[in-house]
Amino acid sequence: MKEYMLIYLGGDPEWKANTPQDEMMASMERWGQWMDKLQAKDQLVTGGSPLHYGGKRLDPNLLVTDITAAEFKELVSGYSIVKAEDFDQAVAIAKECPIFEYPGISVEIREVMQMG
């Protein structure tokens, strides 16, 4: 099997602050169920982690800039790494991801290149 990174793009940067505790707990349970299902099929490499929306960007000239709010829809908000036979299976796995319960999210699916 090959490894694929699911890269979560977009979302609400204030989700954690604006989400009621019971809704957050229910969301985390759905994520846990999704990951447990993948783990049972030996398709989960890592559940990954959510990422803060703020950050820094370093360009080829080593100039550091802040990542701005205008770019939220393009920002990587988290990732997971899964195992799949091919892109079609990786897409099928991604389609079941609980991330799609939130507005403004897309998922980029990239094969992890094996070196050596």
Q: In sequence order, what are the residues at sequence separation of 6 or more whose Cβ sits closer than 8 angstroms to the Cβ of residue 65?
A: 56, 57, 59
Domain that holds residue 77: 2-111
Q: How many residues does the chain have?
A: 116
Give the amino acid at 98. Answer: P
Give yes or no for residue 5 having a pLDDT over 90. yes
| pLDDT at 69 exceeding the cut of 60 | no
Nearest to 16 by CA among 48, 46, 53: 53
82: pLDDT strictly greater than 90:
yes
- CATH number, domain with residue 78: 3.30.70.1060
Q: Which long-range contacts (CB under 8 A, 24 or more apart) does 70-73 make?
A: 72/10, 72/11, 72/13, 73/9, 73/10, 73/104
| Within a domain: 116 | no
Q: How confident is the model at residue 73 (pLDDT cuts 50, 70, 90)?
A: low
Overall domain count for the chain: 1
List CB contacts of 106: < 8 A, sequence separation 6 or more. Answer: 9, 10
Question: Across residues 59-83, what is the average pLDDT?
Answer: 82
Q: What is the pLDDT of residues 30-53, one digit of tens each?
A: 999 999 999 999 999 999 988 887
Nearest to 9 by CA among 53, 48, 65: 53
- Model pTM score: 0.86
